[in-house]
Amino acid sequence: DGGITQSPKYLFRKEGQNVTLSCEQNLNHDAMYWYRQDPGQGLRLIYYSQIVNDFQKGDIAEGYSVSREKKESFPLTVTSAQKNPTAFYLCASSKVGAFVEAFFGQGTRLTVV
Amino acid sequence: KNEVEQSPQNLTAQEGEFITINCSYSVGISALHWLQQHPGGGIVSLFMLSSGKKKHGRLIATINIQEKHSSLHITASHPRDSAVYICAAPAGNKLTFGGGTRVLVKP
CA distance A64 to A62: 6
SS (H, E, C) A46-95: EEEEEECCEEEECCCCCCEEECCCECCECCEEECCCCCCCCEEEEEEEEC
CA distance A78 to A99: 27
Q: Under the phi-then-psi rule, with left for phi > 0, alpha for psi from -120 to 50, and beta for the rest, what region is B28?
A: beta
**Residue B95 in this model has a pLDDT that exceeds 90:** no
Q: How many beta-carbon contacts under 8 Å exist across A and B?
A: 60
**Residue A100 in this model has a pLDDT that exceeds 70:** no
User: DSSP state, B80?
Assistant: G
What's the residue count for chain A? 113
Q: What is the pLDDT of residue B87?
A: 93
pLDDT band, residue A99 (cuts 50/70/90): low
CA distance B94 to A56: 11
Q: What is the pLDDT of residue B29?
A: 73
Instruction: Decide if A77 contacts A64 (C-beta within 8 A).
Output: yes
Instruction: Decide if B47 contacts B56 (C-beta within 8 A).
Output: yes
Chain A residues with CB inside 8 Å of B50's CB?
Answer: 100
Residue A21 touches chain B, beta carbons under 8 Å: no
Chain A residues with CB inside 8 Å of B101's CB?
Answer: none
Closest to A38 in 3D by CA, of A95, A101, A84: A84
Residue A96 touches chain B, beta carbons under 8 Å: yes
B16: helix, coil or strand?
Answer: coil
Q: Is B48 close to A33, i.e. CB distance below 8 A?
A: no
- How buried is A93 (Cβ within 10 angstroms: 0-12 exposed, 13-18 middle, 19+ buried)? buried
Chain A: residue nearest B97 by CA? A43
Residue-wise pLDDT for B48-90, tens only, equals: 888 899 999 999 999 998 899 999 999 999 999 999 999 988 7
**Residue A112 in this model has a pLDDT that exceeds 60:** yes
Q: What is the pLDDT of residue B22?
A: 97
Q: What is the pLDDT of residue A51?
A: 92
Number of CB atoms found within 10 A of residue B61's CB: 23
Chain B: residue nearest A107 by CA? B42
Residue-wise pLDDT for A42-92, tens only, equals: 889 999 999 999 999 999 999 999 999 999 999 999 998 888 999 999 999
* Partner residue opposite A42 with nearest CB, options B30, B31, B98: B98
Chain A: residue nearest B91 by CA? A99
Q: Is A103 close to B45, i.e. CB distance below 8 A?
A: yes
Chain A residues with CB inside 8 Å of B40's CB?
Answer: 109
Q: Is A99 close to B35, i.e. CB distance below 8 A?
A: no
Residue-wise pLDDT for A8-45, tens only, equals: 889 999 988 999 999 999 999 999 999 999 887 888 99
Distance separating the N- and C-terminal Cα atoms of chain A? 36
Q: Which amino acid is at B1?
A: K
